[in-house]
A = this chain, B = another copy of it.
Amino acid sequence: MTRVLIAYAGDYGNTEKMANACAEGIEQVEGMTCLMKHADKVRLEDMRDSDGLIVGTPVHMGCMDWRVKKMIDTISSGLWMQDLMNGKVGGVFTTGSGYGNAGGGCELTMLAMLNSFAELGLLIVPLPKMTVDFGLGGHHWGPYGRSASPSGNHVGVSEEALNVARVHGANVARAALAVKGAEIFKAE
């Protein structure tokens, strides 16, 4: 079996809902399985023994939740040192109150997680605009579950954002299958 690990942190259940939707998408792809864990619980082996990685976070002050960063610092840095993740695949998603009508920090939050992914040698899976409901839940780096309207009313993540997350999960799963066994990166 080919496996994607979903690691996430969150406060009010929105990020977990998005993670669940990604998981559904992954498991719709034949031959794929999913391991989903809160960032606090992820162990080095969970990451090492997966073929792909999806990390999700609420946007907190323009960057990822500190618990996600703690996981990256304490777990993935060890894998980086030993070059154990090269050639796997990775994707990201965020949730956010979306204060302001322009994402409120979700882009840099995604880029910050992807900066870690690049160091790990993961092939990055973006999110094409052709994705269903992209207009309401998409960003080119991954799904965005906006949990408030521009006027500030809390609305929770929408069905559309969950649809986008489902497709993203399946995309990452298909990417993991496509590159599995291929030796893409060589030292020279």
A interface residues, Cβ below 8 angstroms from B = 60-67, 69-70, 72-74, 76-77, 80, 83, 86, 89, 98-108, 111-112, 115-132, 134-141, 144, 146, 150-152, 163, 167, 170-171, 174-175, 177-179, 182-188
Contacts and interface: CB of A to CB of B under 8 A. Distances in A.
Contacts of A122: 126
Given A105-B107, A108-B107, A140-B62, A174 B163 contact: no
Contacts of A186: 167, 170-171, 174
A83 B130 CA distance: 7
A72 B66 CA distance: 8
Contacts of A125: 123, 184
A19 B125 CA distance: 25
9 contacts: A61-B80, A61-B115, A63-B63, A65-B73, A66-B67, A89-B123, A167-B186, A167-B187, A175-B179
Nearest to A76: B61
B171 A182 contact: no
A188 B167 contact: yes
A77 B63 CA distance: 12
B167 A174 contact: no
A64 B63 CA distance: 10
Given A128-B121, A136-B101, A187-B131, A72 B61 contact: yes
